[in-house]
């Protein structure tokens, strides 16, 4: 018989932390916490296998599930000493979802389940607080109606507002027990009106309704969106946790809170939490009341005059601190903990590894490794490589003038400027057209996720540091300022008023998620400074990884940045990028528009000294490291003059007429330039171009190494090769030039000649091509284009359709397509090595800086990856992780 | 010890016909003819291995070659009874090249070798004809100087002209023995002047010089060009044949001639040859004198008043006819024979399988099979599939008015119109720009081959049916009229004068190579009528072949043509071709420019009835056969309005403004449309388009089969699929429409849904895709584009460079690239069949009509090929040959 239900509580559990796949993250952790003796309200978990069964069997359950739930419920009743549905001493439960990985706010939750007209009296009796009992009852009716029965919560909030108005109340706390009782009855009636049938009084009907709702919510749109963004397979399913209720809203000795054992923004080793007295947990997370600090020191820092928990409940705080220590030691990671204090007794409701910023992840990992809590290898695995991006990008220039409108909570670090947009849909739409967006909301909800994803930054007027906006923004790496209460946001008129000033729709704002500042206009930014932790972790990663990491760079600035970020050479120097300067382009145009070889030679003679000077600078910066220089690659017409004055400039330089030049420019137009006369095809047609470039490279290398010292081994790379013969012909020409110059110089210089593998045919013919090539560099941008038959420039019109339809799990230009492009790369690696075992193999497409792709490159045995300078640290870390995951 | 030299003659030989690779075609046949007792002048062959050795060893020979040549020469001397270099009874030899396959006129030949100031006297004594001896000597000096020593033959021709002028001679026959002697001395002096050293008198020096020249000529440009055009590897090398001379120019009882055992133009079973009395063989082939007919009947037919050989030399003619019978029976094929009559004695100099027109090849193969000389299988293999093209293309309309300028020799069948061009270079250049060219020359030479290849037709004023122009044109399948003596061609002024009229450079002419007519202007053409032989051979081929042959067709005319040519279904109906009609394009444009689904639906509703009517016509023609219909494939902007009035038409139909439409049209522009929003990507974005097309297909199929009778199984093909998921999504949509319509009709209808495999990723993912696809059709046009990363539209700018550089052996868009594209096709076949063993596999790219590609498709086990209607017979024959070659 399959065990569909696992109990926990009372110092023991049927499951444990290792059973996340079956029990979900929350269920596994509740079991684990029970096992280590923490005060967990007893309950049981219905497994993720039930969810799978449910969707495989037209939304029905296994036959034996009901009996197992009954048995588990009886055990909880026995432990708690209360009975589900009992009029005197009723057991109340919460019903929560719990997937394998945390999906904050995505799944529905029902609290206080088990209340009806009879049990509410028992609760009043047991708690000695009728006000609390009826408040709980009306909360339950509202939540259950909303989540399970589909009656919008606004229906109920309206009734509360009316009652308050009629009685002249301002605050909820002014309502009496009778008021809440009256409201509960009104809520029931409202639900019946909306549903056409009475609100369920049978507690078992309530329970199964809630279980259905949890499983049903796995397939609602916002859950699917979250899974899509975060790459979570829908086959995983969710578990359901049914747990006895504890109450943080039983008066002034009760409280509820959420805490991180370390600061999730900075990684500082200090408790970082919020609590509310006399409140239920949802009040903290939903951001409806602004919560109080957990510790005295944080209260003082924030300048709050509301007492911290450390001050107001010193004893319970002490117990809680012990739990923090115990949990962090047990899980060996920073924990995100939900707790409730019921009449002075502490209950732990949930623990999980806390989401954190990249900066925090880095500091926590390094601190824990240095404290011996985890190993260096574990520390390396704890930091998400892609998240490093946050640390490597600009922040606001401290010296720049700031027109600060107000200061909110520093909810997610980083700075962003953009135009103000008020809805998630508009944010997504405008972001697609390339606009930078600041999404402004009173508070965010799961329905806003797509807009938050599209935005450069998020600003809310309500909610704390653990509000939805803050948690989600940190997870996404988006800067966020939350709870900026001075903002008055008019959603209809799309205007923000702040202290007498107004910000119109689409005006530009800047936010600093590290300080909470909200500023008018755009504020200048500066390069990030990296902490010592960064250097330490990178050092540990470098000791582990096998893959070398190079950078794609051609300017001295990029090359220096790359070296600073630890690049071990240049994997791709795109020589055409050196041609776009205003003072060079005329000569390039002259070369392209030349009618014959003589005309081209004349223009090339002018380009040679500047090209050589470029290489001298580059080689000087990269001394001692390999530099791969790709010869001219793009379609010639990319360089063509567009404006009349550009034509005139070339006409003057060459003595040709403008009409002649336009005629020639027309002749160079191509229908599909990506598949046209480019790459080595130019080299075959006009060998003098590659000969000039070879000369510039070799002369520069000789110049740089003339005085001795660290050498340069230029790797001359021929692009877009599809057959051995192409490479053979061009290698002969390039080598002839190189050997002649080296011979005449009297110096010694090694150089290599190799090729890009960026066409399917090149991958298939790699065995033949390797007879000529001393190295392969996989140009996976072009290889992705040709393997899929998709132009990167033109894919935008259908890429979204493709991702939505589930055809692409992710953009194949971002993460390498292992099934197609990856197979071709593997074929090329195998065939290339079979011919020339010592062949050097690397990748220089954008994928070189994508962690999943780096792992793939490690797995198939490449020698190095090459990526943009800012991605070098990401690649270094990803390479180390790939090695550790082997 | 390697045997480098093989002797023949005197009724026996060391080699035989099977040793073509070693002895070359000519050498092997000389040996074979010796073995079967024909009168072959004795000689020896230096093998092709010596050629290979020569080029592998920096133009040197094996050490033991000289001794072997000496031994062989001694044996020839003994057989002939004359001695090489002997002053009394000198042996004279010819030195000729002979490669594995015939390369007419491409290699250098030297005759009369062994003559010097001493031996010429011996020859005069032996022949009793001093005039002949000195004529031979001066011919030898001229030829040897030209071919071996590099002194241009014009130098010598000038001296002859001067001598004739000084003496008032018109004809060469007026020269006396002394005149020739004087001329021989003058030639020697001229050679010495040009060379700076005396003309060689040492006969062994002469012999080795000639051998060097033959081997050296293997690598001259015109030989390389010929090999490139004909796909002959340069590794094969040439043999050298050294053979004792016989003389057709020893007076009126001597003659020389060239004969085919059947008519090489029509295939008629009648001797077809020419001879010249008192001439050397080169005189016939070079077209310097217009030769006489071989048989009485052909003389009568041509209206010649010069006697035929049958009439003038009846006895020798009888011997020759016996040789023809013997040779055709021995080789079981039509022979091309060179002979010489020396003072009444017949010598056979050469035999080889005769080149022939497609028409002749067909008739000869069928005749020989019906006469039991060869089997039907051999008959099938005797006809070059590509040559059938000649039979399938238009000829001149007999009812069209013809402005006949003159009538020449009908040298190569077929009709062609084009502009007059006088040089091969210009012909090649103008043909590249798409012009149709008639290349006009007094006579052609091997230097003209590239121009003949580029021309639509060839016209010469001199030379016979076996002249260079005629032989080469027949081989290439180019129409040719030769020997049109009424033409006066002024090469300098580029003007033709003919009977008082003049034709300027670039004026249009029409030639009919089947009648010899030369006409002013362009003459209308008609469809070819196919002979019964064609039907017979096709029938035999159909019995043998395994591959089915379908056609690519969408119009009723194409479909009917395809069925007439034996297509077994339609393999590719490109639905977009049905959209280009003037009365439909406005609706298509409305669909494309629609802002939303509603607008598209409106336009599609108008397209549905016309699309359905198209399919009804097509299915009616193809009843009982499968029809593969490809859903909309091309980039949308191919249909976009270009002109203001086109926009206006759409604006009127839709109520949109022209500005709106232009904005939308701009938005649809793509950088690389081949890799853009096209194929099934349109189906994913706009499913309503494919739904309309599925509806039209299914409704049409139901309509056509409503009354019973042969059924139609529509094969609905989704283009440009790269992953299983794409096909899965679209198959669901298409099937839903189809099943609903079929269900509602109450009829039974089978249909299939499959895909093109035309992207590298699709080939790699074929195992997954086959889970959805009921058939694959390889779209090798697009697959070639993406595998090579070459746009067919843009390749012209470098394709020539690539073929010249030897990177492409042939245009990969014409013949499938087996190493790259072919491997992907093989992978897809293997993976597709592994998933779905019964999957139907075909090819519908242009390669489907290319014989080499058809053989490849047979080899990898495809079920069918599909090609343009006119190529269907070619594919049928190629498929049968592929099966026979297995």
pLDDT at A793 over 80: no
Phi and psi at residue B96, in whole multiples of 5°? Answer: -130, 155
Stretch A55-76: mean pLDDT, rounded? 95
Q: Which single residue is written with the structure tokens 């003082």?
A: A300
pLDDT digits (tens, 9 = 90+) for A576-618: 877 866 667 888 888 888 888 898 999 999 999 999 999 999 9
Q: Is the pLDDT of residue A286 over 70?
A: no
Task: Read off the pLDDT band of B707 (50, 70, 90).
Answer: confident
Active site residue: A450, A453, A468, A847, which one?
A468
Closest residue to A671, CB basis, from B726, B786, B793: B793
Q: How confident is the model at residue A648 (pLDDT cuts 50, 70, 90)?
A: confident
CB contact under 8 A, A788 and B677: no
Cβ count near A192 (within 10 Å): 14
Residue pair A200/A229 in contact (Cβ under 8 Å)? The answer is: no
- pLDDT bracket for residue A620 (50, 70, 90): very high
- B520-525 long-range contacts (CB < 8 A, ≥24 apart) are B520/B403, B520/B405, B521/B403, B522/B417, B523/B396, B523/B397, B523/B400, B523/B401, B523/B402, B523/B415, B523/B417, B524/B396, B524/B397, B524/B400, B525/B394, B525/B395, B525/B396, B525/B397, B525/B415
Task: List the single residue in B761, B787, B797 with the smallest CB-CB distance to A677.
Answer: B797
CB pair distance less than 8 Å for B787 and A760: yes
Window from A256-265, B16-25, B104-113 with minimum mean pLDDT:
B104-113
Percentage above 90 pLDDT, chain A: 62
pLDDT at residue B211 tops 70: yes
The Cα B531–Cα B359 span in angstroms is 9
Write out pLDDT tens, residues B710-725. Answer: 889 999 999 999 999 9
pLDDT, chain B, mean: 90
In terms of Cα–Cα distance, which of B623, B371, B407, B413 is closest to B531?
B413
Percent of chain B having pLDDT more than 70?
Answer: 96
Task: Say what the pLDDT of residue B301 is.
Answer: 87
At residue A1, the pLDDT reads: 74
Backbone angles phi, psi at B421, to 5 degrees: -135, 140
Contact A794 B675 (CB under 8 A): yes
What is the rounded CA–CA span in Å between residue A669 and residue A671? 7
The rounded percent of chain B whose pLDDT value lies above 90 is 63
Cα of B603 to nearest chain A Cα, Å: 21
* pLDDT surpasses 70 at B107: no
Higher pLDDT, B843 or A452: B843
Q: Which residues of B touch A820 (CB under 8 A)?
A: 722-723, 760-761, 764-765
For residues A137-164, give the mean pLDDT. 90
> CB B787 to CB A761 under 8 A?
yes
Min mean pLDDT across A278-287, A292-301, A455-464, A627-636 is at A278-287
Task: Identify the pLDDT of residue A104.
Answer: 58
Give pLDDT, residue B636: 79
A670 to chain B, closest Cα gap in Å: 6
CB of A79 closer than 8 Å to CB of A9: yes
pLDDT higher than 80, residue A528:
no
At B873, is the secondary structure helix, strand, or coil?
helix
Rounded Cα gap, residues A265 and A412, in angstroms:
7
Give φ, ψ of B301 to 5 degrees: -60, -45
- Euclidean distance between CA atoms B96 and B52, whole angstroms: 17
Q: Please give the mean pLDDT across all residues of chain A.
A: 90
* Full-model pTM: 0.79
Nearest to B794 among A677, A758, A785 (CB): A677
Give helix then strand counts, H and E, for chain B. 35, 34
Whole-number Å distance between alpha carbons of A6 and B297:
108
What distance in Å separates the CA atoms of residue A96 and residue A24, rounded to the nearest whole number? Answer: 11
Cβ–Cβ of B820/A722 closer than 8 Å? yes
Q: Which of B672, B771, B784 is the mutation pick for testing A, counting most A CBs within 10 A?
A: B672
Interval B354-363: pLDDT, tens? 988 888 999 9
Sort out which chain B residues have CB atoms less than 8 A from A817's CB and list them: 761
Per-residue pLDDT tens for A66-121? 999 999 999 999 999 999 999 999 999 999 999 988 775 556 689 899 999 999 99
pLDDT category of residue A393 using cuts at 50, 70 and 90: low
If you average pLDDT over residues B129-145, what whole number do you get?
92
B468's CB contacts (< 8 A; 6+ apart) are: B104, B105, B285, B286, B287, B443, B444, B445, B446
A347-383 pLDDT tens trace: 998 888 898 888 899 999 999 999 999 999 999 999 9
Q: How many CB atoms lie within 10 A of CB B738?
A: 22
Instruction: Yes or no: say if A336 and A351 are a contact pair by the CB < 8 Å rule.
Output: yes
Instruction: Identify which has the larger pLDDT, A710 or B715.
Output: B715
Residues B487/B406, Cβ–Cβ less than 8 Å = yes
Nearest CA in chain A to B638: A671
Which chain A residue lies closest to B670 (C-alpha atoms)? A794
**Cross-chain residue pair A798–B722, CB shorter than 8 Å:** no
- Residues of B noted as catalytic: 468, 844
Q: What is the pLDDT of residue A669?
A: 82
Residue among B791, B798, B821 whose CB faces A685 most closely: B798
Question: In this predicted model, what pLDDT tens digit does every residue of B320-372 receive, in sequence order?
Answer: 999 999 999 999 999 999 999 998 999 998 888 898 888 899 999 999 999 99
Which residues of chain B neighbour A726 with C-beta distances below 8 Å?
807
Nearest CA to CA, how far is A824 from chain B (Å)?
9
What's residue B353's pLDDT?
87
Using an 8 Å CB-CB cutoff, list chain B residues near A821.
761
Categorize the per-residue pLDDT at B531 as very low, low, confident or very high, splitting at 50, 70 and 90: confident
Determine whether the interchain pair A786/B722 forms a contact, defined as Cβ–Cβ distance below 8 Å: no
> Are residues B797 and A671, on separate chains, in Cβ contact within 8 Å?
no
CB A766 within 8 A of CB A828: yes
Task: Name the more confident of A868 and B833.
Answer: B833
CA distance A784 to B119: 75
Q: How far is A596 from chain B (nearest CA, A)?
A: 14
Helix (H, G, I), strand (E, B) or coil at A414: coil
Instruction: Using alpha carbons, list the distances in angstroms from residue A229 to A215, A222, A224, A583.
Output: 20, 11, 9, 45
Whether residues A793 and B726 touch (CB distance < 8 A) is answered with no
Q: Show Cβ contacts of residue A57 under 8 Å, excluding neighbours closer than 6 positions.
A: none
**Residue positions counted in chain A:** 886
For residues B424 and B440, give the distance between their C-alpha atoms in angstroms, rounded to a whole number.
9
pLDDT of residue A722: 97
CA distance linking residue A325 with residue A332, whole number of Å: 10
Q: Say whether A820 and B685 touch across the interface (CB within 8 A).
A: no
Chain center to CA of B214: 26
User: Could you give the CA distance from residue A815 to residue A828 in angstroms, rounded to a whole number?
Assistant: 19
| Nearest-Cα residue of chain A relative to residue B760 | A787
**pLDDT tens string B84-101:** 999 999 999 999 999 988
CB contact under 8 A, B684 and A823: no
- Closest-CA distance, B436 to chain A, in angstroms, reads 22
Q: Which residues contact A81 (CB under 8 A, 6 or more apart)?
A: A89
Determine the average pLDDT of the residues in A147-163: 88
Identify the band that residue B133 occupies on the pLDDT scale cut at 50, 70 and 90: very high
Q: Which two tokens stand for residue B450?
A: 């590239």
A694, A594, A693: which is closest to A640 by C-alpha?
Answer: A594
| Segment A126-141, tens digit of pLDDT | 888 898 899 999 999 9
User: Measured between CB atoms, which of A675, A786, A820 is closest to B764?
Assistant: A820
Confidence check: pLDDT of A285 > 70: no
* A interface test, pick of B782, B794, B809, B819 with most A CB neighbours within 10 Å: B794
Taking CB atoms and an 8 Å limit, are B791 and A729 in contact across chains?
no
pLDDT digits (tens, 9 = 90+) for A809-866: 888 988 999 999 999 999 999 999 999 999 999 999 879 989 999 999 999 999 999 9
Contact between B761 and A789 using a beta-carbon 8 Å cutoff: yes
Average pLDDT over residues A536-564: 93
What are the chain A neighbours of B761 within 8 Å (beta carbons)? 787-789, 817, 819-821
Of the ranges A167-171, A343-347, A459-463, A661-665, the best mean pLDDT one: A343-347
Complex confidence, ipTM: 0.77
Task: Give the residue from B612, B645, B729, B622 showing the smallest Cα distance to B680.
Answer: B729
**Is pLDDT above 90 for B635?**
no
Query: Which one of B679, B680, B720, B760 would you mutate to disrupt binding with A, by most A Cβ within 10 Å of its Cβ?
Result: B760
Query: Does the pLDDT at position B467 exceed 80?
Result: no
Q: What pLDDT score was predicted for residue B466? A: 61
Look at residue B582 in the predicted model and tell me its pLDDT. Answer: 63
SS3 assignment, position B375: coil
Torsion of CA B210, B212, B214, B218, to 10 degrees: -160
Q: ∠ CA B198-B204-B205 to the nearest 5 degrees? A: 35
Chain A contact set for B722 (CB, 8 A):
788-790, 820
Please indicate whether residue A450 or residue A791 has the higher confidence score (pLDDT): A791
Q: Which residue bears the tokens 């080469």?
A: B472
The per-residue pLDDT for A746 is 92
Centre a 10 Å sphere on the Cβ of residue B6 and count the other Cβ atoms it contains.
25
Contact A683, A690 (CB under 8 A): yes
Using CA atoms, how far apart are residues B490 and B537, in angstroms rounded to an integer? 46
- The pLDDT confidence band at residue A450, using thresholds 50, 70 and 90, is confident
- For A626, the token pair is 């390999």
From the list A553, A684, A562, A574, the residue with the least C-alpha distance to A629 is A574
Which of A51, A573, A680, A844 is flagged as catalytic?
Answer: A844
Write the residue in A768, A798, A824 that is nearest to B681 by C-beta.
A798
pLDDT, tens digit, for every residue of B504-520?
Answer: 999 999 999 878 899 99
Q: Rounded to whole angstroms, how far apart are CA atoms B163 and A522?
A: 99
A820 phi-psi bin (left φ>0, alpha ψ -120 to 50, beta other): alpha
What are the tokens at B798? 């470098």
Q: What is the per-residue burial (b if ≥16 Cβ within 10 Å, else e) of A444-471?
A: bebebbbbbbbbbbbbbbbbbbbbbbbb
Preferred mutation among B597, B678, B721, B761 to probe A, highest tally of A CBs within 10 A: B761
Contacts of A462-465 spanning 24+ positions with Cβ under 8 A: A462/A287, A462/A288, A462/A290, A463/A286, A463/A287, A463/A290, A464/A274, A464/A284, A464/A287, A464/A290, A464/A291, A464/A409, A465/A265, A465/A272, A465/A274, A465/A409, A465/A410, A465/A411
From chain B, pick out residues whose CB is under 8 angstroms from the CB of A690: none
Position A477 scores a pLDDT of: 63
Q: For the residues of A500-515, what is the DSSP string, one character each?
A: TEEEETT-EEEEETTT
The predicted pLDDT at position B412 comes to 78
The region, left, alpha or beta by phi > 0 then psi within -120 to 50, assigned to residue A341 is: beta
Cβ–Cβ below 8 Å for B674 and A673: no
Residue A353: strand pairing partners: A335
Return the H-helix or E-strand segment holding B239.
strand B238-244
pLDDT of residue B662: 83
């Amino acid at each position: 018989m399959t065990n569909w239900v696992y109990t926990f509580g009372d110092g023991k559990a049927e499951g444990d932390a290792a059973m996340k796949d079956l029990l979900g993250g929350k269920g596994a952790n509740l079991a684990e916490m029970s096992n280590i003796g923490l005060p967990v309200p007893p309950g049981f978990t219905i497994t993720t296998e039930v969810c799978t069964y449910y969707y495989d069997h037209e939304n029905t359950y296994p036959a034996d599930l009901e009996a197992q739930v009954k048995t588990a419920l009886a055990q909880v009743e026995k432990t708690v000493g209360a009975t589900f549905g009992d009029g005197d001493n009723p057991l109340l439960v919460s019903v929560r979802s719990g997937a394998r990985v945390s999906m904050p706010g995505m799944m529905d939750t029902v609290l206080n389940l088990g209340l009806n007209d009879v049990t509410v009296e028992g609760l009043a009796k047991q708690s000695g607080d009728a006000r609390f009992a009826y408040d709980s009852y009306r909360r339950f009716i509202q939540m259950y109606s909303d989540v399970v029965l589909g009656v919008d919560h606004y229906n109920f909030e309206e009734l509360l507002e009316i009652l308050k108005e009629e009685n002249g109340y301002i605050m909820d706390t002014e309502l009496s027990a009778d008021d809440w009782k009256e409201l509960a009855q009104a809520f029931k009636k409202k639900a019946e009106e909306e549903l056409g049938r009475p609100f369920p009084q049978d507690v078992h009907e309530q329970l199964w309704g809630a279980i259905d709702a949890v499983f049903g919510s796995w397939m609602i749109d916002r859950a699917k969106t979250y899974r899509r963004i975060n790459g979570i397979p829908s086959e995983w399913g969710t578990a359901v946790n049914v747990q006895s209720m504890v109450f943080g809203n039983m008066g002034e000795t009760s409280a509820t809170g959420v805490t991180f054992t370390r600061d999730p923004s900075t990684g500082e080793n200090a408790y970082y939490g919020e609590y509310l007295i006399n409140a239920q947990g949802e009040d903290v997370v939903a951001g409806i009341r602004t919560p109080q600090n957990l510790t005295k020191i944080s209260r003082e820092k924030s300048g709050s005059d509301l007492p911290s928990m450390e001050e107001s409940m010193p004893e319970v705080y002490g117990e809680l601190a012990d739990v923090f220590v115990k949990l962090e030691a047990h899980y060996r990671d920073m924990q995100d903990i939900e707790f409730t204090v019921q009449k002075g007794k502490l209950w732990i409701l949930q623990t999980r590894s806390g989401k954190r910023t990249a900066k925090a992840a880095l500091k926590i990992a390094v601190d824990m490794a240095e404290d011996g809590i985890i190993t260096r290898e574990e520390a390396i695995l704890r930091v998400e490589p892609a998240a490093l991006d946050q640390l490597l990008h600009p922040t606001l220039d401290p010296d720049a003038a700031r027109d600060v409108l107000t200061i909110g909570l520093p909810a997610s670090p980083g700075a962003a400027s953009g135009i103000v947009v008020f809805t998630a849909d508009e944010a997504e739409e405008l972001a697609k057209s390339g606009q930078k967006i600041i999404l402004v909301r009173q508070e965010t909800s799961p329905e806003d996720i797509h807009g938050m994803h599209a935005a450069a930054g998020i600003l809310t007027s309500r909610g704390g540091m653990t509000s939805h906006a803050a948690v989600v923004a940190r997870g996404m790496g988006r800067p966020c300022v939350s709870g900026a209460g001075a903002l008055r946001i008019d959603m209809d008129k799309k205007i923000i008023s702040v202290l007498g000033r107004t910000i119109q729709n689409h005006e530009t704002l800047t936010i600093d998620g590290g300080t909470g500042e909200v500023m008018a206009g755009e504020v200048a930014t500066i390069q990030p400074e990296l902490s010592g932790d960064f250097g330490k972790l990178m050092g540990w990663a470098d000791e582990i990884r096998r893959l070398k990491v190079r950078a794609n760079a051609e300017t001295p600035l990029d090359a220096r940045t790359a070296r600073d970020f630890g690049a071990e050479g240049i994997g791709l120097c795109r020589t055409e990028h050196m041609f776009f300067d205003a003072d060079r382009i005329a000569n390039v145009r002259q070369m392209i528009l030349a009618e014959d070889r003589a005309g081209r030679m004349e223009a090339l003679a002018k380009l040679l000294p500047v090209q050589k000077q470029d290489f001298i600078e580059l080689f000087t910066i990269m001394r001692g490291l390999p530099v791969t220089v790709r010869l001219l690659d793009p379609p010639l017409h990319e360089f063509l003059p567009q404006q009349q004055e550009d034509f005139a400039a070339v006409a003057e330089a060459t003595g040709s007429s403008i009409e002649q030049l336009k005629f020639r420019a027309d002749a160079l137009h191509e229908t599909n330039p990506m598949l046209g006369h480019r790459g080595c095809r130019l080299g075959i047609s006009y060998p003098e171009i590659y000969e000039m470039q070879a000369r510039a490279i070799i002369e520069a290398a000789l110049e740089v190494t003339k005085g001795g010292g660290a050498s340069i081994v230029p790797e001359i790379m021929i692009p877009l090769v599809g057959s051995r013969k192409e490479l053979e012909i061009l290698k002969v020409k390039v080598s002839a030039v190189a050997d002649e110059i080296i011979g005449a110089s009297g110096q010694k210089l090694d150089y290599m000649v190799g090729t890009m593998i960026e066409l399917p045919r090149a991958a298939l013919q790699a065995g033949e091509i390797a007879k000529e090539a001393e190295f392969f560099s996989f140009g996976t941008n072009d290889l992705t284009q040709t393997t899929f038959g998709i132009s990167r420039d033109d894919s935008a019109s259908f890429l979204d359709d493709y991702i939505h339809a589930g055809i692409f799990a992710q953009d194949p230009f971002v993460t390498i397509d292992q099934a197609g492009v990856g197979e071709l790369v593997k074929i090329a690696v195998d065939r290339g090595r079979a011919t020339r075992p010592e062949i050097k193999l690397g990748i220089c497409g954008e994928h070189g800086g994508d962690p999943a792709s780096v792992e793939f490159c490690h797995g198939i045995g490449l020698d190095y990856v090459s990526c943009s300078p800012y991605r070098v640290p990401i690649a270094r870390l990803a390479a180390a992780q790939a090695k550790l995951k082997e």
